[in-house]
Structure 1
Amino acid sequence: MRRQQMVPVALLVAAVGLLGLGVVGPPTADGGIRITPGVPILLVAAGVSWWWRGSTGAVLGLVAVAVVTVASLGAGLGPDLIGDRGLPVAVARWVQVVGLAAATYALVQWLVARRSPVGTAGERPRRDRSKVLQVTGLLVLCGIGAELLAAYGDSTGNVGGIAFALVFFGALYGAPALLARELVRRLGWGWPSLLLIFAALGVAEAGLIDQSLFSADYGGYAGWEENREPTLIPSLGFSGYNAYSFIIGHVIFSFAAPVALAEAWVPNRARKPWLGPIGTALAAVAYVIAALFILTDPESRSGSPAQLLATAGVIVVLLLLAVVLGRRAQTASHRAAAGEVPLWALFVTALVFALVPDMTPATWLGVAIATTTTAVFGVLILLAARTRVWTVRHAATIGAAYLVERGLLAFTYFPLIGDVAPGPKYAHNVVMLLVVALAGWLALRGRAATAPPAERAALPTV
């Protein structure tokens, strides 16, 4: 099917999903069929896109998709997708979502394709499928590192729940990780700037999106109050222990470790951009939809206006610091590197530094130990990167060590919510740990330990 023909067809699919939702959903007051407003919007947009075959028609179709998508988010999209209103409604909702996603892809691709270079024979350059696999792998690994590897939720061992979680958490964590990495690599910045952006994303997740940082009992998880109360700061409304656990946890497990591993899968692309205009647009849309999905949950409304405003201020400061460090990295001079840090020694050291914070109690002493341990290891990494040969494999080794530590620790406890049998629980742990081991093996295999000179010169800024 030609790209231009995909646009109206995808819009029609989305309209059919909405129509099905109206037919099987609640009837009108007089018992008639309820037709959602999105149906005529999408039908008109499909007709316009079919008739007005050009950029203008595609833009109008994209606007229609955006309007209907935003309107759908506040209409119980989440509960409908998981079947809270029955199978027919769930099917209609999934048809709608697939149609909207396909329409968005087709429309953006149509707009970009008109401006893309063509080959000498009039054919467009082929897409690098290995890059697609690399991006997809990162999305999956972010979802695993952020949520599934720790195995604390009631989806543990549930194949259907895990499948949904991989898609959803890939959008919630993998998409912003991709966008942050894309920005930093295009600007030629280093890991310090990237980590600060990841910290801003972590603060946004815990303080603005799910607002778990300010919750007294988020989601009914066992032990929430016991971990929160000893280091609660009443004037600020959050716990010091939770602040460290949530924000640093997101920085390391949701973003940095998966990115470090994914970059090492193809070392010659580690410092290069991965996304084009279509990928960037889809990542941004996926992140916004996933974030709004969480925001529409009443459980995620714990923060007061003052807390939310202060959180936004912290995010701005972190982003400004990322800009300052990024600009310095572009003009900094670097010393000649000495010998290479052995990967096995780095892995063992990282494993120990990852384990210490998880072994500390939920007290102010525990927070101090965890913070100090993390800060010391960060300084050691920076010194090693500035004075030794440092490649993408070294960064990947650290990321692998942290993910392995989290996966091993998950064997020592049962999920904090729900009733999960031992068999599925341990099977889940084993599978997730094997995925992490595979990701680590792909990153560290072979003898490509030495970075190219240009890359090596940039790496001390990591």
Structure 2
Amino acid sequence: MDRTISQTVGLRKPQRGLGFWNSIAPVLGLFFLAPLTAEYLIGYLSETFTEMLVGLLLLAPTYGGAAIIIRESARRTGRGWPTIILLSLAFGIFMAGLIDHSLFDPSFQITELWHDMPNPTYIPALGISYLDALYFVLGHVIWSISAPIAIIETFVPRSRTAPWLGNLGLAIISLLYILASSILCWGIAIDDQFFPSALQMAGTAIVVMALIALAFSVRLEERPFAAIRLPKPWVVGTAAFMLLSLPNIIETGCEMLGIPSMFMIDWPGFIINILTVGLLAALTWRWSQSRDWSASHTLSLAGGALLTRVWIAFLLVPFDEAMFYDELVQRTVFLLGVVMLLLLAAWKIRADKKRYEAWV
């Protein structure tokens, strides 16, 4: 039977009775991987390893819980990556607009590098910085949700497109997410002494609900794959890495050459970021229509995104100079951890090649 595009993007009939290693294990993996890729890999949080472990008590239910809920919502309804991406976008706007308020708070600083930095793309009438909004929302779409889901699904070919949790399990995860995100929202509002206006909150809620409705209205037609020459997985991963890294490469290159780089936080930088992400999205959509698109390509795409996150962390100046070497060690450990995770996932694909050929 010919495979179809809808199978490539993850449209498959849900399965039951998958056992611990094909259901609970990937749930735990996603629960803890999502907060690491969302917050820790980039190096924004200047914390010791002990503080990071304590932070996971709040961040794992927030990011991991959201990733699990989004994945389960898509897989339970027989939907795939278009739905996951749209739900991730809804989560990104919800998180930035209604939880940590980074979308609207002009004084929101996730790193000391941003202190006293001009914000040319800030529009007072809307209370939004377009460039910051792009960073925050797309950061959630790619690194908080999509990349960790793609990587964890690599380890469970049998249940890659099946639900992992029953109703009780999903209810527990949802409760943990609501509790953790509420605590996070309350804590940030107290610390920053900022809360969005009623109009901003209403506008955010409307956009989020519209994206959720759109996510569940998306159903791809069952149609044969297109005759497309697909590049090797390593080329796909390199493309993801280079395109997502390009804005930082441009900024770093300008600084090394003594060329003013402030244009990267202005509208030209916004346009460059939009173009690079848009090109990557277009290439991914085009390539995924090929009959030869495989789990290796998906892993390479997600891996390129994670490696981008890791190397950029080395560009950030530590909050506390006294912790410079500690932070350098942390970032090196994360780099090695990501590389090991990707190598392990690649080994898993090769080990289960025959099984993957039946599922991809």
Tell me if TM exceeds 0.5.
yes
* 2:171 counterpart residue number: 281
Task: Give structure 1 regions of 4+ aligned residues with deviation exceeding 6 angstroms.
Answer: none
Superposition pairs of residues 321-400 of structure 1, within 5 angstroms: 321-325=214-218, 328-329=219-220, 331-335=221-225, 341-359=231-249, 361-400=264-303
Q: Which of 40, 56, 60 is the aligned partner of 1:170?
A: 60
Give the one of 424, 432, 455 matched to 2:334: 432
Query: Unpaired segments of 5 or more residues in structure 1?
Result: 1-116, 118-124, 457-462
Deviation at 1:442, TM superposition (A): 2.4
Q: What do residues 281-300 of structure 1 show as CA deviations (whole Å, max 9, x unaligned)?
A: 22101111111111212227
1:313 aligned partner, one-letter code = I
| Correspondences of 1:69-148 after superposition (within 5 Å) | 127-129=19-21, 131-148=23-40
2-structure distance, mates of 1:296, 1:429: 29
CA distance in 1, matches of 2:30, 2:315: 27
Shift of 1:162: 1.0
State the 1:336 CA deviation.
5.3
Q: Distance in 2 between matches of 1:308 and 1:443?
A: 40
Aligned residue in 2 for 1:181:
71
Matched residue, 1:23: none
Question: 1:361-392 CA distances to partner (integer Å, 9 max, x unpaired)?
Answer: 11111111111111111011111111241123
Q: Shift of the alpha carbon at 1:253? A: 0.7
What secondary structure does 1:333 align onto?
coil
Conserved in 2, the CA contact under 8 Å of 1:227 and 1:241?
A: no
| Matches of 2:29 and 2:87, distance apart in 1 | 21
Shift of the alpha carbon at 1:405?
1.3
Confirm or deny: 8 A CA contact 1:354 1:402 kept in the other structure.
Answer: yes
- CA deviations over 1:131-177 (Å, ceiling 9, x no partner): 3332222122111111111111221xx12211012232111111111
TM-score between both structures, scaled by the size of structure 1: 0.66
Which residue in 1 is equivalent to 2:198? 305
SS in 2 for 1:247: helix
For residue 171 of structure 1, give the secondary structure of its aligned residue in structure 2. Answer: helix
Aligned-partner Cα distance in 1 for 2:110–2:83: 35
Q: TM-score w.r.t. structure 2 length?
A: 0.84
Residue from 93, 104, 121 that aligns with 1:203: 93
Q: 1:245 aligns with which of 135, 141, 158?
A: 135
SS at structure 1 position matched to 2:165: coil
- For the Cα contact (< 8 Å) 2:109–2:115, is it kept in 1? no
Shift of 1:251: 0.5
Whichever residue aligns with residue 329 of structure 2, its letter is A
Aligned partner letter, 1:148: Y
Counterpart of 1:422, as a letter, is F
Alignment of 1:39-54 (within 5 A): none
Which segment drifts farther, 256-265 or 342-351?
342-351
Cross-structure match for 1:404: 307
Instruction: Check whether the contact 1:209–1:300 (CA below 8 A) recurs between aligned residues.
Output: no
More relative contact order, 1 or 2 (CA 8 Å, 6+ apart): 2
Closer/same/farther in 2, CA of residues 420 and 251 from structure 1, 3 Å limit: farther
Larger gyration radius, structure 1 or structure 2:
1
Q: Are 1:138 and 1:174, in contact at CA under 8 Å, matched by a contact in 2?
A: yes
Q: Are residues 1:222 and 2:125 paired?
A: no
Q: Percent identity?
A: 29
Give, as a single letter, the amino acid of the residue that structure 1 aligns with 2:277: T
Aligned CA RMSD, in angstroms, stands at: 2.4
Question: Gapped runs of 5+ residues in structure 2?
Answer: 1-15, 252-263
Q: How many positions carry a matched residue from both structures?
A: 327
Q: 1:231 to 1:164 in 2, by over 3 A?
A: same
Provide the rounded CA distance (Å) in 2 between the counterparts of 1:169 and 1:374: 26
* SS in structure 2 of the partner of residue 140 of structure 1: helix
1:108-128 CA-to-partner distances (Å, cap 9, x unmatched) read xxxxxxxxx9xxxxxxx8951
Name whichever of 379-388 and 227-236 sits farther off. 227-236
Contact 1:263 1:392 in 2 (8 A): no
